Amino acid sequence: MKIVRTDCELETPDLDAELRRRGELVLLPEGVSEAALAAEVAGADLLLMCYTPVTARVIAAATRLKGIVKYGVGIDAIDIPAAIARGIPVVNIPEYAEETVAEGAFTLMLALAKKLVPLDRQMRAEGWAWPTARWMGSDIAGKTVGIVGLGRIGKSFARMAGQGFRARVISCTPGMSAEDMAAHGVEKVDDLHEMLAQSDVVSLHCTLNDTTRHIIGAAELAAMKPTAFLINSSRGALVDETALVAALTEGRIAGAGLDVFSAEPLSLSGHVMSPLFALPNVLMLPHLTFYTAEAMARLERETLERCDEALSGRPLLVKSRDPRLRAQAGGVRFA
């Protein structure tokens, strides 16, 4: 068996050791070219990817591929229609970091509200900070937290904010009833702009697709309170980043906590988001809210389960509710 895993910068030592027991393992870096990836998968039995695009050209070159396993959640980098046309099953690992990413997003919110990073910088530079207006923080209790996308991670975030911190939690999630939201302590708001106008914190937890790309643009940012924070730990392209940079640099929203970006990695200059490094009210993480010992253990274990299904010719278990994965008719079974 030949197994190809892209994005080898994300270390999965236990998974790699097990895959080497099953055959030849080829590790490719993030940023591998389409041509190089196509050449490697031409004779591969299994492809594992995290960030690297798996295009129609790559899929066309895969003459014996038994499956594509996204060792992570988001599947927007995979040309799923092309895989379906070739009869190659695609699966992701949607549950390994539900609480983990929600905790990460919540940490960003708390850090912004309490001004933890600028206070820490002040302490390191001066040794102390007196309670002046510059350092005035804000509470979460009693505030309104708006969630865009009340899926697994969004529900965990809602529980933390509502039950944990006594915030009012609202959500604009099309297709989810008010009754279902209420069961999770969330009020349904049908109009996105109305939700944004009410929210002191807006946290994004929806999948990226043609409908949600740039769901937060200039008009949506304009609808937010000037005292509100934006949190994004889902996908960078949910936000029009040029509009976000303008809103933050012009002080039209209070701040942002970002773990994901349309183009990764970032750089200190030359990136659309580079101007944000100079702002004290912006926290940027390197797409690592998922990265804990517990979550990675779950990810490696479940990824190996899906790999073994593919290599043994069994149907791959699809746990995701994403309609793109649910559209598959062969080589999969649904949880």
**Which residues are the active-site residues?**
235, 264, 287
Q: Please give the structure tokens belonging to residue 113.
A: 């509200």
Distance between CA 145 and CA 198 in Å, rounded? 8
Beta carbons within 10 angstroms of residue 91's beta carbon: 28
Helix axes 116-126, 98-114, angle to 10 degrees: 60
Helix (H) or strand (E) holding 5: strand 2-5
Q: Please give the structure tokens belonging to residue 324.
A: 């793109």
| Cβ atoms of residues 299 and 307 within 8 Å | no
Q: Among residues 171, 283, 197, which one has the least CA distance to residue 233?
A: 283
Contacts for 233 with CB less than 8 Å, ≥ 6 apart: 101, 104, 105, 108, 153, 203, 204, 205, 257, 259, 260, 289
Strands 187-188 and 168-171: parallel
Q: What is the CA radius of gyration of the chain?
A: 21
